[in-house]
Amino acid sequence: MTSRALVRARAPLRVSFAGGGTDVPPFPEDEGGLVLSATIARYAHATLRPRDDRQITLESVDYGVSIDFGIDEPLPLDGRLDLVKSALSRLLDRDRGGFDLFLHSSAPPGSGLGSSSAMIVALVGLLQDHNRQTMTDYEIAHLAHVLEREDLGISGGLQDHYAATFGGFNYLELAGSHVVVNPLRIGPDTVSELEHNLLLCYTGRTRLSDHIIDDQTDRYRRGDDEAVEGLRMQKRLAQEMKDALLRNRLSDFGEMLGQAWEQKRRMSPRISTPFIDEAYQAALDKGALGGKVTGAGGGGYMLFYCPFNHRHHVAEALIKLGLSVSEISFDLTGLRTWRVDG
């Protein structure tokens, strides 16, 4: 393998089952957060091709944007691929020369699957491999979180960067900015049955999660009873759903998925929409045990647990409403980087 090898990275997207919102400050500092999530076989991809000059080219398929600049030029945060520039500002090794960077994701921005966080995890992994650095999974996830939430000031929680880095089924414990990732040993039969009975459905509408997150955070800070109780119940359901998964009680898990959605709706009136409510009720009417929006809310993807003999009826009803419906496969590996002869 030569020094001119391409470097590739991929980081998985995630579905959050319960606890979303308890990872958003100031709740983890005040009461501690719990999140139950799993990564799926959809990815943020990044490829780096070394160049013989000192130029850098950034190309994003998702945003349809390409940028060229010299390696010694400043990187202004001007709204054009700022996520990438933020990573380069901390990890660019100017002694190694220029490169072409190509980025694409399996889900559109604002989808509710943590795609932007997965992309910055993939970038951190890619650049640390290119620089021949060694970082632990916790260091990668923490740096990705700092880049997105602090350097760029994008509102959100802690869970996504850790899910994308570690992969698999995880139970996250959060105290302030301190995160403990507890990988769950879910049996292969349980994983297969989940894949058999879950439906992932795209509403066709993306959302501005920062507005929703800011609203729920403001409500929590003001002591809004509904928002506070919704967050506390999210914690409780994360624990109960973890226990159901570990004990292969999947019907209970499916019903609690719906309970998690009901509690999530209490955190902000912006989380649901009339269209989401209509789709959710249609799925229940056709036999789904429960479901929820996978991200901050307002659009993106919805996840439903359906007994398999009802799943096709649920899918048909949702397709009639205009949703795109797909099966789900889980990723159990997390962030990966590798090299290919260019």
Catalytic residues: 160
Tokens 């054009």 belong to residue? 80
Asked if 337 contacts 135 with a C-beta cutoff of 8 angstroms, the reply is no
Question: What single string gives the DSSP state of each residue in 110-165?
Answer: TSSS-HHHHHHHHHHHHHHHHTT----HHHHHHHHHIIIIIIS-----SHHHHHHH
Question: What six digits make up the tokens of 146?
Answer: 């700092």
Q: Taking the CA of residue 217 as centre, how many other CA atoms within 13 Å lie in the half-sphere pointing to its CB?
A: 17
Instruction: Give the Cα separation of 50 and 129 in Å (integer).
Output: 13
> What's the first-to-final CA gap in the chain, in angstroms?
10
Longest dimension (CA), the chain: 61
